[in-house]
Structure 1
Amino acid sequence: MMDPQETSSTDTESAVTDFVALLLLSVTAVLTAWCGFQSSKWGGEMSIAFSEASSLRIQATSADSRARDARQYDLSIYIEWVLADGDRKLRNYIEDRFTPEFKVAFEAWNAGGRTQPGPLAHPKYSPSGAADAARLDHLADEKFQSALEKNQQGDNYTLLTVAFALVLFLTALSQRKQAQTVKKALLALAVVVAVISVVIMLTFPALI
């Protein structure tokens, strides 16, 4: 016959175990929902960043196309200037039709003793649209990188939902009919996994 004192002690231990299990289940359920929410938010931010990167890339391509057209125009004008060799009046007429970007390079080319193959090869030559293309390309790269980082944050929260699911699984196992020591071991393991997961979660940025 079991000692009443031992029975009381066993019942107390069981009640404490059940309370811890219930508390763990409740908290983990909330944390799992939070991680799912964060994963969804970061996924939305990732999609927006990818869309912005794509839009910037299209704008950069358009600017680069403008730069190519401007370069072609400047090249055509420069060829006419070269062909007008000896005709100062014609050369002056052509020079009046230089684009502002080409004029800067042309004057620098002249001032430097015409050491470069031509004004278009001068470092100061930057056709209209070239600077915009470079700037937009840089912004597109930044947005793309940001999208990848946001995707990783979403994946991190998704992995945490798996960890919290493991906590729920271990906690549920601890409630089955089995020896008290086994229950305690399963519950203790669930608590350890939960604590580690929470600590990791606190290191992640959150979106509201």
Structure 2
Amino acid sequence: MCAVTTLLIGVSVPAAALAGNGNSVYAEAPAAPTSPRQLVDAQTFASAYGSTAAPTVVRDAFGVETVVETPAATFSAITGTLVMWPANTTAVNDGFGYRDGGEFHGGIDIMAAGGSTIMAASPGTVVTVAEDSGWGAYVKVDHGGGIYTLYAHMISGSQSVSVGQYVNAGDALGLVGQTGYASVPHLHFEVYAGGSRVDPLPWLP
């Protein structure tokens, strides 16, 4: 389990994502991993960041990416480890899964300060740099092997990478903002694994 200041957890129901390119820094864990935080390679973690208090925030809506429903149980054994947190805090305001009223939240909301740097959580290739009414300005990175990460609500125009660019863990992707469906600046962070959105927390160091 990673350290967080505040976490609201829901019941997770994944949705589909793109396939990976096979150039992965991870591997799928066994069907019955010894822990949800099992290491899948020899990558050394980056230094841990300190936590800060999380303010109240209106929760994100769905992103607008087209997805296909997939049974959650299919991917229950898929776990892995990202190299680092994508922001300079581990404070989480809202967790992954269903909320009261049936709305599904496909990631976690990390309460990083507005204007602070959003970083790649692991090495990979940028596959999307875009902006829409849900995620706002966002970046999506392919880590290979069907593993993707998505970083949303950036300041409009702050994305500092381009499609096809290779990034290392810790490389800047953009700045924390409030674009799209968001009431205060924060980073909405998603992980896709094996064709499904999954809870990012077990993947973070």
TM interval, short-chain normalised: under 0.3
For normalisation by structure 2, the TM-score amounts to 0.19
Higher helix share: 1
Q: Whose radius of gyration is greater, 1 or 2?
A: 1
Higher strand share: 2
Higher RCO, 1 vs 2 (CA within 8 Å, ≥6 residues apart): 1
